[in-house]
A and B are shown apart, each in its own frame.
Chain A
Amino acid sequence: MAGLGDLKLSSQAFLRAYPWRRAEKSDAAVLGRPMSECRVALVSSAGLTAAGDPPFDPDFRGGDPSYRWLPADVDLGTLVENQRSDSFDHSGITADRNLALPLDRLRELVAAGEIGEVAPRHVSLMGSISAPGRLMRDSVPAVVEGLLEDRVEIVVLVPV
């Protein structure tokens, strides 16, 4: 894990004063069947885009709140990382996109019978968003609706 002291001084000052938003509280979602039968999707904040997708906008004030769907059969090596944050070393994700979107690992857990199936599409966000209003108003409802349409039962979220 990383502590505040691992970040640049300018980032530390910003993060100390930042008014963190709270996640919505709800009752725990209950799996309707064993995990070995469930459909699983990934959400990655690495700003990954597939060939033909518009890139995330690094200059968007407050952080680009848009999202991209990544198809389950995407070739991970072709994904481009558009994360604008300079707070972390990007070389690991460049070497292996599974670090931020562990799709190959998900496929292996399906093959091993530990989860049921890989969802038909996965969610890419550019997580460096300091003003999350538009994200919550415009993008998240569409993402939730899409995942419900896809009958996704489990989502694994991966911040970078």
Chain B
Amino acid sequence: MCHQTVGLVQGKLEAAGIATTAISLLPWITRRVGPPRALVVPYPLGYPLGAPGDPPLQRSILRAALALLPRRDLPVLEEMRPEPDATLSEGRANRPTR
């Protein structure tokens, strides 16, 4: 139900002129609700930012969600493509895991 709740709030924020982006763990629900922009990430429920105690991975997910903001071809529901955490290197590449 979280995905509906978040999607409904997102629609209202966008209509009020605030640019929004979201994470989705359940794309089949997000598609039905239809918020303007969401990034589908390959993690289980309860883990929208990937893994606890993994700042590089969490940053890369947040950054990928923010990267959807310039999109105008709404609604956007895009799967995350992992990228190295370039700007804030902590000594290893980001490797999303299930």
Interface residues of A (CB under 8 A from B): 1-4, 6, 15, 20-26, 28-31, 35, 40, 43, 45, 63, 83, 85, 87-93, 95-96, 98-100, 102, 104-106, 108-109, 112, 114-115, 123, 125, 127-130, 132, 135-136, 140-141, 143-144, 147-148, 152-160
Residue of B nearest to A23 (CB): B11
Query: Are A6 and B48 also in contact (CB < 8 A) when A26-B11, A95-B53, A105-B58 are?
Result: no
Cα A98 to Cα B55 in complex, Å, equals: 9
Residues of chain A lying within 8 A (CB to CB) of residue B42: 1
Of the A-B pairs whose beta carbons lie under 8 Å apart in the complex, a sample of 16, sorted by A's number, is: A1-B25, A20-B29, A20-B32, A22-B32, A22-B34, A23-B35, A24-B12, A43-B13, A85-B1, A88-B45, A92-B46, A105-B55, A106-B62, A127-B5, A155-B10, A155-B21
Cα A40 to Cα B21 in complex, Å, equals: 11
Q: Which of B11, B12, B14, B46 contacts A88 (CB 8 A)?
A: B46
Q: Are A92 and B16 touching (Cβ within 8 A)?
A: no
Residues of chain A lying within 8 A (CB to CB) of residue B19: 28-31, 153-155
Identify which of residues 4-30 in chain B touch chain A, using a CB-to-CB cut-off of 8 Å: 4-29
Cα A22 to Cα B7 in complex, Å, equals: 8
Cα A143 to Cα B36 in complex, Å, equals: 18
Residue of B nearest to A151 (CB): B18
Residue picked from A2, A3, A93, A128, most chain B C-beta under 10 Å: A2
The answer to the question of B95 belonging to the interface, with a C-beta cut-off of 8 Å to chain A, is no
Residues of chain B lying within 8 A (CB to CB) of residue A4: 28
Cα A31 to Cα B20 in complex, Å, equals: 10
Q: Which of A2, A93, A108, A153 contacts B55 (CB 8 A)?
A: A108
Q: Are A23 and B44 touching (Cβ within 8 A)?
A: no
Q: Are B69 and A132 touching (Cβ within 8 A)?
A: no
Q: Are B46 and A45 touching (Cβ within 8 A)?
A: no
Cα A139 to Cα B54 in complex, Å, equals: 33
Residues of chain B lying within 8 A (CB to CB) of residue A1: 24-27, 40-43
Additional pairs, 15, CB under 8 Å, beyond known A21-B8, A129-B5 = A1-B25, A23-B8, A28-B19, A29-B18, A35-B66, A63-B5, A83-B2, A88-B46, A96-B53, A99-B52, A114-B87, A125-B6, A155-B13, A159-B25, A159-B48
A108 to chain B, nearest CB (A): 6
Residues of chain A lying within 8 A (CB to CB) of residue B74: 28
Residue picked from B14, B40, B71, most chain A C-beta under 10 Å: B14
